[in-house]
């Protein structure tokens, strides 16, 4: 079965500090895309960052970056200079090249940012 595991149900970080959220996935496919989504209390899911599995270079988006280890099937998210607005539930997810837009999500990590 295709699965995504986020082993940290909750994480906290001090404002301006750095935090890393973990994610591992399991798929036998070789072509896929990995995502981190953020869901704030408003419940609106927002894409944070995307990584193509065929790219070795780790994706970055401003303060957000990933550590993609394809052989280990690991896809962690690093948030630098954490801000109060980063507080949210973060979901790791992937889509397979063969399954269209179908996202498989992890259980989520609730991130708290302390002032």
Partner 1 sequence: KAGVTQTPRYLIKTRGQQVTLSCSPISGHRSVSWYQQTPGQGLQFLFEYFSETQRNKGNFPGRFSGRQFSNSRSEMNVSTLELGDSALYLCASSWGLAAYNEQFFGPGTRLTVL
Chain residues binding partner 1 by CB under 8 A are 31-33, 37, 42-47, 50, 52, 91, 93, 95-108
User: Is residue 67 a contact partner of residue 88, using CB atoms and an 8 Å limit?
Assistant: no
Q: How far is the CB of 58 from partner 1 (least distance, A)?
A: 17
Lookup: tokens for 104? 């498989």
Q: How far is the CB of 34 from partner 1 (least distance, A)?
A: 11
Cβ distance to partner 1 smaller for residue 51 or 82: 51
Lookup: tokens for 27? 């798929």
| 87: Cα separation from own chain's centroid | 14
Q: How far is the CB of 109 from partner 1 (least distance, A)?
A: 12
Radius of gyration of the chain (CA): 14
């Amino acid at each position: 079965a295709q699965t995504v595991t986020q082993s940290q149900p909750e994480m906290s970080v001090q404002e301006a500090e750095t935090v890393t959220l973990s994610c591992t996935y399991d798929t036998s496919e070789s072509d896929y895309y990995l995502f981190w989504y953020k869901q704030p209390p408003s419940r609106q899911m927002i894409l944070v960052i995307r990584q193509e599995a065929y790219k070795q270079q780790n994706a970055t988006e401003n303060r957000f970056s990933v550590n993609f280890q394809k052989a280990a099937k690991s896809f962690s998210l690093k948030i630098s200079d954490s801000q109060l607005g980063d507080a949210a539930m973060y979901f790791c997810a992937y889509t397979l090249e063969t399954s269209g837009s179908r996202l498989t999500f992890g259980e989520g990590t609730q991130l708290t940012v302390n002032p």
